[in-house]
């Protein structure tokens, strides 16, 4: 993926050489074509439905590459999971449901992963599903820098639901902005109904912050509601741009000024136009990987005042 190449360039190291193919029936095959004996291996993977394959293919690739590295006597394996797939299934909301985020955490541990690095998990509590070290990074300072450079005034950061309120409050503090919260319900998966806005948004330049955009239903509904409430403008920022189905078309047709995402999930170059803007987390992940490798502190990366 392009992000892995950017990280390697920043660290001034070559990407590892690995052969990834599939058998005729779809089974994945992986083999390291260089020695990894005694090495600290960092596997960079986005568990998402990207151009390279489905979220299930990406997960199996990660597990198989980890197993191959361990069997080749790698000293440690760190899974750099830029987008943690299945993270929305982090609790039982109804009877007879799975907690798939916990299942994925178990699979990674059993495969031999020694440490996980991830960016903006759907819920921070997912860290507790792991019995191995996990470094949970956030893109909030990157978004804060982006909007600070735009010199927007009279700002209000808007959380699309109560669950995202804590992160939205952090972003509002970084931007010295007001805070508002949307009241949302989900009648079905990938469907959202926004009934009201808690907070004053009339005449303000609003910034909706979320961890991911999938079909765009929640975001489009939120944009519409804010404009109905008299917002002067609406900007959107989300760490993971999954953009499933007709998300691109729906977002372009919305009343938002721009939709800002990071490259934790690959966004096709042809889509990086119009309202879709992409900023990179390569420097953030490069610094984290470097600190992990040299066994220095990573906690400074969680400090909002820390500058990469």
pLDDT value of residue 298: 87
Which SS3 state, helix, strand or coil, does residue 252 take? helix
Cβ–Cβ under 8 Å, residues 200 and 222: no
Comparing C-alpha atoms, which of 87, 125, 101, 25 is closest to residue 212?
A: 87
d(CA 264, CA 56): 17
pLDDT value of residue 193: 65
- DSSP state letter for 305: T
Q: Where are the alpha helices (DSSP H) in 74-179?
A: 100-111, 140-149, 165-175
pLDDT value of residue 6: 96
The string of pLDDT tens digits covering residues 174-192 is 999 999 999 876 555 555 5
pLDDT value of residue 187: 54
- DSSP state letter for 195: E
Beta strands 258-262 and 233-241 are: parallel
Domains along the chain? 2-138+283-301 (3.40.50.2020), 140-280 (3.40.50.2020)
Residues of the chain with pLDDT under 70: 50-53, 185-195, 302-308
The string of pLDDT tens digits covering residues 93-138 is 889 999 999 999 999 999 999 999 999 999 989 999 999 999 999 9
pLDDT value of residue 93: 86
Q: Which residues are known catalytic residues?
A: 184
């Amino acid at each position: 993926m392009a992000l892995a190449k950017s990280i390697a360039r920043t660290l001034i190291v070559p990407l590892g050489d690995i052969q990834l193919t599939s058998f005729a029936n779809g089974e994945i095959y992986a083999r390291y074509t260089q020695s990894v004996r005694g090495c600290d291996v960092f596997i960079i993977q986005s568990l998402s439905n990207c151009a390279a394959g489905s979220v299930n293919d990406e997960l199996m690739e990660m597990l198989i590459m980890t197993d191959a590295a361990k069997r080749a006597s790698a000293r440690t394996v760190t899974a750099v999971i830029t987008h943690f797939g299945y993270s929305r299934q982090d609790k039982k909301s109804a009877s007879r449901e799975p907690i798939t985020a916990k299942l994925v955490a178990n699979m990674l541990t059993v495969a031999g992963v020694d440490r996980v690095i991830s960016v903006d998990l759907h819920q921070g509590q997912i860290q507790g599903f792991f019995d191995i070290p996990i470094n949970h990074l956030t893109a909030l300072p990157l978004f804060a820098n982006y909007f600070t450079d735009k010199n927007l005034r009279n700002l209000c950061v808007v959380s699309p639901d109560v669950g995202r309120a804590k992160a939205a409050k952090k972003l509002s503090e970084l931007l010295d902005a007001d805070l508002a919260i949307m009241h949302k319900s989900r009648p079905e998966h990938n469907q959202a109904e926004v009934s009201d806005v808690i907070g004053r948004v009339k005449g303000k330049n609003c910034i909706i912050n979320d961890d991911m955009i999938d079909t765009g239903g929640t975001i489009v509904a939120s944009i519409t509601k804010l404009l109905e409430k008299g917002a002067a403008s609406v900007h959107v920022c989300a760490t993971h741009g999954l953009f499933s189905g007709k998300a691109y078309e729906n977002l372009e047709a919305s009343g938002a000024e721009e939709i800002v995402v990071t490259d934790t999930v690959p966004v096709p170059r042809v889509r990086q136009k119009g309202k879709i803007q992409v900023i990179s987390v390569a420097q953030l992940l490069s610094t984290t990987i470097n600190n992990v490798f040299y066994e220095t502190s990573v906690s400074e990366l969680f400090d909002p005042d820390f500058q990469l």
